[in-house]
Chains A and B, each alone.
Chain A
Amino acid sequence: MVVGRAMNRSVVRVTDLPERLAQGVAERVVALVVDALDFDALLARVDIDALLDRVDVAAVLDRVDIDALLDRIDVERLVARIDLASTMAGTATSAAEETLAALRRTTERGDDLAARWADRLVRRT
């Protein structure tokens, strides 16, 4: 039994070296291939439209478990990250400013109209 264990250990040591060698060679080959690839040229040859045509979006969506996805979303944390109050205040302020500016533009147009009318009345140019 003791002899068997010793043999196993020596076999492991013997196979270690070629395995590491093969691993190193494989990594080097992959690195050389990747370096040699021109990804821009490769992507230029890809027909994105054709690719998208082949994607069945409905089937992809069917495979998505929406409930599980929603369960994983921490809504409270999400809401906490959105500054809702300042967003709403900003929107309201902006809308009020636009309304006010429109109101003033309208009355100013009325001013011009009234002035032109008065001018015509007294035949002043």
Chain B
Amino acid sequence: MSSDPLDGNYAGAVSRLAAYVVDLAAMSVLLTAGSAVVVYLVAVITGHQLHLSSDRDLAAVGLALWWVFYFAGSWATTGWTPGMGLFGVRVVRADGTPASVPAAVLRAMALPLSVALFGLGFLGILFQAQRRALHDLIAGTAVIYGPPGSNAPRGARRRGRSGPR
């Protein structure tokens, strides 16, 4: 019998991918709306017209900040982003305790690395025993099934089932 308290509760690739897609869509919509508001407010207050589409550096910084704020903020406060909440998965530390702010920030910053390596960083979700991606290993986190708002995992819901872990 495994000594891992989360064994059998690690979220799989499809749930995580679906949550990620929803989060990207939500993030993009919110970023677009937020950018429009910022551009408008800057124009009204300072009279200076921002052109985010032409000022790539400013847009990149804005996107990076928003990325970290959206993901790390969600993981550090509730353990789940809106997309993860929808699909019933959440981020915890490797020992099952809620993710700390530094761990959440580190995970948010490491996530693009998994993408940048041609998606190889995500292979751990399929082949690693605890279904941890590269950014999970870097930040010391894991993704488990569990209802949002609850601090306890779903309770080895799938424990004892055969299959890879």
A residues within 8 Å of B by Cβ?
100, 103-104, 107-108, 110-116, 118-119, 122, 124
- Give the residue name and chain of the A residue nearest to B14 (CB): A110
Residues of B within 8 A of A114 (CB): 12-14, 126
A104 with B163, Cβ < 8 A, contacts A114-B12, A122-B127 known: no
- Give the residue name and chain of the B residue nearest to A107 (CB): B15
Min distance, Cβ B133 to any Cβ of chain A, angstroms = 13
Residues of A within 8 A of B13 (CB): 110-111, 114-115
**3 residue pairs, one from A and one from B, having the closest CB atoms:** A111-B12, A110-B14, A118-B126
| Pairwise interchain contact B11-A111, C-beta atoms closer than 8 A | yes
| Pairwise interchain contact B12-A112, C-beta atoms closer than 8 A | yes
| Pairwise interchain contact B88-A104, C-beta atoms closer than 8 A | yes
- Give the residue name and chain of the B residue nearest to A122 (CB): B127
- Give the residue name and chain of the A residue nearest to B131 (CB): A115
A104 with B12, Cβ < 8 A, contacts A115-B163, A115-B164, A118-B127 known: no
Q: How far is the CA of A17 from the CA of B18 in the complex (A)?
A: 95
A110 with B164, Cβ < 8 A, contacts A103-B86, A103-B87, A104-B88 known: no
Residues of B within 8 A of A103 (CB): 86-87
A119 with B164, Cβ < 8 A, contacts A111-B13, A112-B12 known: yes
> Which of B15, B126, B127, B164 makes the CB contact (< 8 A) with A108?
B15
Q: How far is the CA of A62 from the CA of B165 in the complex (A)?
A: 71
B80 contacts chain A at the CB level, 8 A cutoff: no
B75 contacts chain A at the CB level, 8 A cutoff: no
